[in-house]
Copies of this chain bind each other. A is one copy, B any other.
Amino acid sequence: MLTMDTLIYGLALVGAMVNAASGVLEAGRKRFDLFGMVVVALAAALGGGTLRDILLDRTVFWIAEQSYLIAALVAGVGTFILARLVRLPARLFLLPDALGLALFTVVGTQAAIAHGAPWLVASLMGVITGVFGGIVRDVLCNELPLVFRGELYATAAWLGALTLIVLPQLGVSPRLAALFAGATVLALRLLAMRYRWHLPSFSARR
């Protein structure tokens, strides 16, 4: 029987692993040493949830439960070995990044709801959990963060977080809502990359 806690734990574990992979794939294009590679992988995997837990004053998830740290290290090293055996396309890291965005947005929103946060705060926590690991990864790799590069990113996460909050009010089971919200983020993000969907860009001065 799949409980909500088990589902969230599994999603977060997979999220940590795909984000660690995205970190190694992006860092691999720079000449980082082994330590730098591990730092980028861990920052991508654990950054978003860490900021959420500090803001909510929860025990930081990877300190309470060491398995996230180990999973991120294993995924990072595994990706590193794979990348040395097989030639991987440079933009491949966008795939684990999109998957990590979807997983962490669901996990982060869920954690904030369980903590009793009001809905607007909960949806913002979902976005922060989803995007912050990728921001730290990109800053460490000296790349402009994906979230600021124009194609739908944080907006996709926010719509997914709202989906997760609204669906249970309409009678949908929380587990189904979580899966549907994750699929929404992933689909929106992949379509935004494919068809170059942008948020309107404004300037206060013409």
Binding site for B on A (CB under 8 A): 24-25, 27-29, 31-37, 39, 50, 54-57, 59-60, 62-63, 66, 69-70, 80, 83-84, 87-88, 117-118, 120-121, 124, 147-148, 150, 154-155, 198-205
Given contacts A50-B55, A155-B35, contact A63 B201 (CB under 8 A): no
Contact pick for A56, options B63, B69, B202, CB 8 Å: B63
A35/B199 in contact, CB under 8 A: yes
Q: What are some 18 contacts across the A-B interface (CB < 8 A)?
A: A24-B204, A27-B204, A28-B203, A28-B205, A31-B201, A32-B201, A33-B200, A34-B201, A35-B154, A36-B148, A63-B117, A69-B121, A69-B124, A80-B202, A80-B204, A84-B202, A88-B204, A88-B205
Assembled-state Cα–Cα distance A88/B204 (Å): 9
Contact, CB under 8 Å: B203 / A31: yes
User: When A69-B124, A124-B69 are in contact, do A57 and B57 touch as well, CB less than 8 Å?
Assistant: yes
